[in-house]
C-alpha cells in the first residue's frame, strides 16, 4: 500500500448494522489516522433492496438519530444521503478521494448489489473490505456433507453448530478517526421517514425506543428477569416472556454474536438461542431463493386456488375485525404497536391463508408495511412457513382453530382484553367465542354482536373444509 493510500480518507458504509458495539467493519475502518467518512444511504430504488414499509421507516428514523448522537459524542458525523446506493457510493468515493471502503456483508439480492458496487469502486481505484457481522453463520458457511444448502431447520442447525466456533464479538472503538471537514449529507428530517398526515405513530412511540442503548438494556433485562422462563412461557402472548429484540436485531442495533456470547453459560437459554438459529436459517433460505417474498419455495403451490381478492374481507383481517378475538387482538397489536407476538403471528397468518383462502403474499406485504421488525428474510420465510409453501413448513392441512389457540395460549383472555377492550367484560369462558355467550351475558358485558363487535366473518368448520378442498385441488393438479 502506498503512503498515499494510507493517508487517504476511508469509508465505512452503515446499512443493517446501526451500532458501534461488535461492528467488525467499523473497527477495521478505524485503524490508522486517516480521516473517516461514515455513510448511510436511504435507497428507495428497489435495486437490490426492498423499499422499507411505514413502521420500519419510523424505526429507522429513531435508529439513525440515535447512531448520529453516539457518533457525535466521539467527534464524528454520520453522513446521510439518499438515492440508488450504487450511484451514491460511487459519487461519494469520487468526491472525497476515499481509497479504502469497508462494510459488513449483506446477502441475496443485496449481496449481489454490494458485489457490483465493490467492482465499481475497484475500477475507480478504491479497495473494499467486507466482514461478517449480522448473523451467527453466514448463509454459505453451512453446507451438508455433499456441499448442499439445507431445507430442513433441524439438520441445518446441527450442521451449523458443527461448522466451528462463532467468532468473538469485537468491542466498540473508544475513539474514532476524524471526519472529513466540509463533507455534508442531508439532515435526517429531510428523509421524511416519520408519518405526518396523519401521524399514526403514537402507539409505536409508546412501545419502543429505537437505538443501540435501548437494545442492550432490553437484552440485559431479558437475561436478568425472563430468560429462565422463556422456553415454558414464550407461547403465551399476554406474558412479557420473549425478548422483543426483533426490531433491534433487524436494524443491527445489537449483534446476534453479542447475544450468543452473553448467553454462553446459560443452559436455560438454549431455546432462545435456537430462535436466533431460525433467524439465520431464514437468511440461509433467502440466499437460496432471493425472490422468497414473491415466489413459493415449493412450486406445487403455484397452482393453489386462492380466493379472488375481496378488499372488504382483507380489510377486516388487517383492521382486526374478523370476529375471532385472538386474530383481532393480534392484528390490533400490530397496528397499534408495530409488533405482534410470534404465536399470534402464526394464528393470524393461518387464518388469512386457510380460513380466508387469501394468498400469503397479501399478508406478507401488510406485515412488511406495519411491522417495526419487518425483515427481508424472516417475514417471507414466516409467511411461507405458515402457508405450507416454504422450507420445512407447517403442512398446509394443519389449520389452527382460532378458538382453541386462544383458549390454550390466552386462557384468561388477558391478551384479548388488552387489544379488544369492547369485549373485555365477557366472562373468560366466552372471551374467545363471543358468539356463544348467552344474550344475558352479552347484555351484562354491554355488547351487541354485529354492532359493537363483529360476528365471525367465516364459520370455522366451513372455512376449514373449504381450505382442505382447495389443498386437494392443488395436489390433484400437481
Ligand X SMILES: Cc1cc2nc3c(=O)[nH]c(=O)nc-3n(C[C@H](O)[C@H](O)[C@H](O)COP(=O)(O)OP(=O)(O)OC[C@H]3O[C@@H](n4cnc5c(N)ncnc54)[C@H](O)[C@@H]3O)c2cc1C
DSSP 453: B
CA-to-CA separations, 388 to 166, 254, 284, 375, 380, in angstroms, rounded? 32, 31, 18, 19, 12
Residue 104 annotated among the catalytic residues of the structure: no
In angstroms, what is the minimal distance from the CB of 374 to ligand X?
Answer: 5
Q: Binding segment for ligand X among 15-23, 298-306, 377-385, 461-469 (CB under 6 A)?
A: 377-385
Which position among 61, 105, 234, 433 is part of the footprint of ligand X (CB under 6 A)?
Answer: 234
Residue 275 annotated among the catalytic residues of the structure: yes
Cell of 121: 469502486
Which position among 59, 150, 366, 383 is part of the footprint of ligand X (CB under 6 A)?
Answer: 383
Which position among 325, 382, 388, 390 is part of the footprint of ligand X (CB under 6 A)?
Answer: 382
Which position among 26, 223, 346, 423 is part of the footprint of ligand X (CB under 6 A)?
Answer: 346
251 belongs to an annotated ligand binding site:
no
Q: Is the peptide bond before 198 cis (omega within 30 degrees of 0)?
A: yes
453 belongs to an annotated ligand binding site:
no
CB-side exposure of 176: number of CA atoms within 13 Å?
23
Q: Binding segment for ligand X among 41-49, 271-279, 294-302, 467-475 (CB under 6 A)?
A: 271-279
Q: Binding segment for ligand X among 108-116, 169-177, 238-246, 315-323 (CB under 6 A)?
A: 238-246
In terms of CB distance, is 67 or 386 closer to ligand X?
386
By CB under 6 A, tell whether 379 contacts ligand X: yes
d(CA 369, CA 334): 10
- How many CB atoms within 10 Å of residue 244? 17
Residue 366 annotated among the catalytic residues of the structure: no
369 belongs to an annotated ligand binding site:
no
Helix (H) or strand (E) holding 81: strand 78-82
Q: Which residues contact 53 (CB under 8 A, 6 or more apart)?
A: 368, 369, 370, 371, 374
Neighbouring-strand partners of residue 131: 104
Instruction: Determine what percent of the chain falls in helix, strand and coil, rounding each to the nearest 5.
Output: 50, 5, 45
Residue 283 annotated among the catalytic residues of the structure: no
- Let me know: does 22 contact 169? Beta carbons within 8 Å: yes
Which position among 249, 254, 262, 287 is part of the footprint of ligand X (CB under 6 A)?
Answer: 249
By CB under 6 A, tell whether 350 contacts ligand X: no
By CB under 6 A, tell whether 407 contacts ligand X: no
In terms of CB distance, is 349 or 463 closer to ligand X?
349
By CB under 6 A, tell whether 328 contacts ligand X: no
Largest CA distance in the chain: 86
Residue with cell string 358485558: 445
Helix (H) or strand (E) holding 162: helix 153-162
Which residues are near ligand X by CB under 6 A?
Answer: 234, 242-246, 249-250, 275-276, 278-279, 282, 342, 345-346, 349, 367, 371, 373-375, 378-379, 382-383, 386
The annotation places the binding site for FAD at 230, 242-246, 272, 373-375
Amino acid at each position: 500500500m502506498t503512503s498515499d493510500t494510507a493517508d487517504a480518507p476511508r469509508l465505512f458504509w452503515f446499512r443493517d448494522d446501526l451500532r458501534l458495539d461488535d461492528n467488525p467493519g467499523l473497527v477495521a475502518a478505524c485503524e490508522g489516522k486517516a480521516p473517516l467518512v461514515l455513510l448511510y444511504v436511504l435507497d428507495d430504488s428497489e435495486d437490490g433492496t426492498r423499499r422499507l414499509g411505514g413502521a420500519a421507516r419510523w424505526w429507522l428514523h429513531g435508529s439513525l438519530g440515535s447512531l448520529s448522537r453516539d457518533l457525535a459524542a466521539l467527534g464524528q458525523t454520520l453522513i446521510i444521503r439518499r438515492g440508488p446506493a450504487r450511484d451514491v457510493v460511487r459519487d461519494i468515493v469520487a468526491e472525497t478521494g476515499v481509497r479504502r471502503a469497508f462494510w459488513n456483508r449483506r446477502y441475496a439480492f443485496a449481496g449481489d448489489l454490494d458485489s457490483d458496487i465493490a467492482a465499481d469502486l475497484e475500477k475507480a481505484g478504491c479497495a473494499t473490505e467486507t466482514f461478517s457481522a449480522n448473523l451467527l453463520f453466514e448463509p454459505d458457511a453451512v453446507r451438508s456433507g455433499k456441499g448442499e444448502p439445507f431445507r430442513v431447520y433441524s439438520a441445518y442447525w446441527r450442521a451449523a453448530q458443527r461448522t466451528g466456533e462463532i467468532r468473538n464479538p469485537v468491542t466498540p472503538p473508544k475513539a474514532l478517526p476524524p471526519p472529513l471537514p466540509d463533507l455534508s449529507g442531508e439532515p435526517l428530517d429531510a428523509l421524511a421517514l416519520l408519518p405526518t398526515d396523519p401521524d399514526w405513530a403514537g402507539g409505536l412511540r409508546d412501545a419502543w425506543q429505537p437505538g443501540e442503548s435501548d437494545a442492550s438494556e432490553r437484552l440485559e433485562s431479558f437475561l436478568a428477569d425472563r430468560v429462565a422462563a422463556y422456553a415454558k412461557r414464550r407461547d403465551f402472548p399476554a406474558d412479557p416472556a420473549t425478548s422483543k429484540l426483533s426490531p433491534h436485531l433487524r436494524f443491527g442495533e445489537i449483534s446476534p454474536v453479542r447475544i450468543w456470547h452473553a448467553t454462553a453459560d446459560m443452559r436455560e437459554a438454549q431455546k432462545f438461542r435456537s430462535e436466533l438459529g431460525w433467524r439465520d436459517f431464514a437468511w440461509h433460505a433467502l440466499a437460496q431463493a432471493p425472490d422468497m417474498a414473491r415466489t413459493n419455495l415449493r412450486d406445487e403451490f403455484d397452482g393453489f386456488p386462492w380466493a379472488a381478492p375481496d378488499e372488504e374481507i382483507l380489510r377486516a383481517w388487517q383492521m382486526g375485525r374478523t370476529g375471532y378475538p385472538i386474530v383481532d387482538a393480534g392484528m390490533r397489536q400490530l397496528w397499534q404497536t408495530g409488533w405482534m407476538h410470534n404465536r399470534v403471528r402464526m394464528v393470524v397468518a393461518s387464518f388469512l391463508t386457510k380460513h380466508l383462502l387469501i394468498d400469503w403474499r397479501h399478508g406478507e406485504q401488510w406485515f412488511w408495511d406495519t411491522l417495526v421488525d419487518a425483515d427481508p428474510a424472516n417475514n417471507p420465510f414466516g409467511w411461507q412457513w405458515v402457508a405450507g409453501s416454504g422450507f420445512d413448513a407447517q403442512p398446509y392441512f394443519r389449520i389452527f382453530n382460532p378458538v382453541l389457540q386462544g383458549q390454550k395460549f390466552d386462557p384468561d383472555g388477558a391478551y384479548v382484553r388488552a387489544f379488544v377492550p369492547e369485549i373485555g367484560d365477557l366472562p373468560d369462558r366466552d372471551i374467545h367465542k363471543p358468539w356463544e355467550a348467552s344474550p344475558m351475558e352479552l347484555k351484562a358485558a354491554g355488547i351487541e354482536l354485529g354492532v359493537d363487535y363483529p360476528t365471525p366473518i367465516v364459520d370455522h368448520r366451513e372455512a376449514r373444509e373449504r381450505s382442505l378442498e382447495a389443498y386437494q385441488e392443488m395436489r390433484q393438479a400437481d
